[in-house]
A and B are shown apart, each in its own frame.
Chain A
Amino acid sequence: MAVLQTPERERTVGGLPEAAHRPPRRKTPYQAAARGFIAPGVLMVAVLLYLPLLWTTFLSFTEYNGLGDPEWVGLDNYVEMFDDPSFVGSLLNTLLWVAGTLLIPVGVGLALALLTWNLPGGIWLRLPFLIPYAISGIGVGVIWSFILSANGALDQALAMIGIADPPRWLVDAPLNTVVMIIAASWQGVGVNALLFTIGLQSIPKEPLEAARVDGATGVRLFGSILWPMLRPLTAVVVGLSIVASLKTFDIVLSMTKGGPGRASETLALTMYRETFVNSDYGLGSAIAVFLSVVTLVASVLYLRQQLSQKHEM
């Protein structure tokens, strides 16, 4: 920092001949201006994101229902949380979401990127997968609820090929979570394909040509050249998928409302219900804090992977 600041002072003195233009305080005029320029951003983020964040953390150690004052109860909410079988069920569902989202959208996204890579018309062939990405979670939920409803579009299609007694897609758990993961994958594959495509396009041509000259094609080319080169990007895609799937809310709210009972709830949904339906602000906040810690750990893991990769290069 000191190294940066010293030349700044000199440059200013040299650049502005009239010392009269300087403000009375002996700093560079830019520091005052710089604080003015950054202040709106810092203020808005501090007031609307950081303050609430601290308040939620505080509330997670209290008993509070919005009336009166929060009452300090230490770790009670956290203990209560892990004792609650439906919280554990919600946690398991969320883990299923994380695993499923890694498997389908990331895997299929990579496959699509490889299939369209260097293919004439690849941009157009990718389009069908990109359309769902722009649709909101509730929009996706409305479409898939309609398809998966009893005697709905899917059941009619199955009946045509002779399957007369299909499972109750949105009622039987954990099947309902699995079909919702498929709906979310329908939405999410395109963006992963796009990210992997950007990654593939940035691979330098020379090693690829060298490998081709050596006769590497298909699986061998992928294993020896493409996969290692895509690894940093894969870490990002995987990290983003984990973080997004931990927060799954819209699709579940739309398709099952977390039901039947609480069988398909995710952590985000449990937090919402405890807070805004049951008015148990302390417990809701504890779930939010738990969700944040898990999300942070996941982000740190992939960011570190990212950074260490950059250091190697």
Chain B
Amino acid sequence: MSRFLRTATLVALGIVWLLPVYLLIINASKSPTTFTSTEAWIPTDFSLFANIADAMQLSGLSDSVVSTLAYAIVSPIIAVVVGAAAGFAIVALRLKRGFLWFVVIFGGTVFPLQMVLLPLFDAYSRVGLYDTHAGMIIVYTAISIPFSAFVMRNFFTGVAHNVFEASVLDGATTWRIFTRIYLPMASSALVAIFILQATFIWNDLLLGLTLSQSDNVRPIVTTLSGMQSTYGGAQMSTVLAAAVLVSLPTVVLFLFTQKFFSRGLALGQY
């Protein structure tokens, strides 16, 4: 196909792909008083920020934003360090039966989440972690560890082993070698994992639905889902504004870090 035809096809398809985004934004911008669901295609006014402010009041969305930010930052940071430590143990410290332990950790992601929901719910209720911030951070960390260990093991395999040996000769402890040499060296991989896992956590519904219920613990997507059921009819433009608010951070992050994403995806495959 000629270059022109390819470009034209892509532009046309791209416009079709952006139509839902267009509809979301113009309708999320209509104030609840002017909003009518029968005039979906034409923009009328711009009350997006007022609608977002309204949405923040509904269903405790503002509380959710704060907690979800905490989950999406704290859990991947812990997971990245724990995963890197596992990779370091296997590759640099040459842990005995290291590959087996790697398979044990990585195997944690092979099963669908449905396999762990009920026991987690049950156990969380018994030990008092149900509907707590700590409980959510712990579960999101555990879920993020296998992928993190996978990428970090791959990354450290590419590091020459005499980097480690030289540091040992300099008298550094393993902890020092890990924190001062291996972690800084892996910063790009650490950032890639962090971004992917933070996005995953921000977009999670299932764990939030199962392990939390109160406004200030529930993650944001779970809150949006509840809002859709409760206010989807009467305050559609407010719910759409909430959807904009929930989607914006991940879309912006994704567009600015496309390179990291594609690298992370490529790492995830091989």
* B residues in contact with A139, CB < 8 Å: 203, 221, 224, 243, 246-247
Q: A33-B174, A156-B40, A195-B265 are in contact. Are A134 and B251 (CB under 8 A)?
A: yes
8 Å CB contact of A136 from B39, B108, B250, B262: B250
Q: What distance in Å separates the Cβ of A91 from its nearest Cβ neighbour in chain B?
A: 14
Is there a chain B Cβ closer than 8 Å to A41's Cβ? yes
| Complex partner residue of A143 from B115, B116, B243, B250, CB under 8 angstroms | B243
State whether the Cβ of A38 lies closer than 8 Å to any Cβ in chain B. Answer: yes
Q: Is the CB of A48 within 8 A of B142?
A: yes
Given contacts A44-B145, A139-B243, contact A125 B262 (CB under 8 A): no
**Contacting residue for A254 out of B21, B38, B122, B228, CB 8 A:** B228
- Contact (Cβ within 8 A) B114 A268: yes
Once the chains bind, are B265 and A194 in contact (CB under 8 Å)?
Answer: yes
B224→A296 contact, CB < 8 A: no
Q: Is the CB of A296 within 8 A of B205?
A: no
Determine if A288 and B112 form an interchain contact, defined as CB atoms under 8 angstroms apart: yes
Q: How far is the CB of B150 from chain A (nearest CB, A)?
A: 11
Interface residues on B, range: 35 or more
Question: Are B88 and A137 closer than 8 Å at their CB atoms?
Answer: no
- CB of B173 to closest CB in A, whole Å: 8
A138 interface residue per 8 A CB criterion: yes
Is B110 in the interface zone, CB < 8 Å from A?
A: yes
Q: Which residues of A contact B243 (CB under 8 A)?
A: 138-139, 142-143
User: Does B194 belong to the interface (CB within 8 Å)?
Assistant: no
Q: Does B46 contact A (CB under 8 A)?
A: no
- Chain B residues positioned under 8 Å from A285 (CB to CB): 118
B69 within 8 A of A: no
- Contacts of A275 on B, CB cut-off 8 Å? 117-118
Check A203 for interface membership: any CB of B closer than 8 A. Answer: no
Interface size on A, residues (CB 8 A): 100
Closest to A41 in B: B86
Main secondary structure of the interface of B (DSSP, over half): helix
Given the known A-B contacts A34-B93, A121-B7, A142-B224, are A41 and B255 also in contact in the complex, defined by CB atoms under 8 Å?
no
Pick from B13, B89, B253: contact of A35, CB below 8 A. Answer: B89
Bound: A89/B236 CA distance, A: 32
A127-164 vs B, CB cutoff 8 Å, 1 = contact: the mask equals 11111111111110111111101011100110000000
The answer for the CA separation of A296 and B114 in the assembled complex, in Å, is 13
Q: Confirm or deny: B234 has a beta carbon within 8 angstroms of a beta carbon on chain A.
A: no
A135 touches which of B139, B146, B247, B266 (Cβ 8 Å): B247
- Contact between B168 and A45 (Cβ–Cβ < 8 Å)? no
Task: Map CB proximity to B onto A177-221 as digits: 1 under 8 Å, 0 otherwise.
Answer: 000000000100101001101100000000000000000001000
Whether the pair A151, B116 counts as a contact (CB closer than 8 A) is: no
A278 to B265, CA, bound (A): 38
Cα(A120)–Cα(B7), bound, Å: 9
Give min CB distance, B211 to chain A, whole Å.
11
Q: Are B250 and A198 interface neighbours, CB within 8 A?
A: no
A217 → B minimal CB distance (Å): 9
**B116 to A, closest residue via Cβ:** A52
Closest 3 CB pairs of A and B: A52-B119, A134-B254, A37-B89
- Residues on A facing B (Cβ under 8 Å): 1, 4-5, 8, 11, 15-16, 29-31, 33-38, 40-42, 44-53, 55-57, 59, 66, 112, 115-116, 119-121, 125, 127-139, 141-147, 149, 151-153, 156-157, 186, 189, 191, 194-195, 197-198, 218, 233, 236, 246-247, 249-250, 253-254, 257, 268, 271-272, 275-276, 281, 284-285, 287-289, 291-292, 295-296, 299
Given A52-B118, A135-B250, A271-B114, output 15 extra A-B contacts at Cβ < 8 Å.
A33-B174, A38-B90, A40-B82, A48-B142, A49-B108, A125-B7, A125-B10, A136-B246, A137-B205, A137-B221, A139-B224, A146-B24, A146-B37, A195-B269, A257-B229
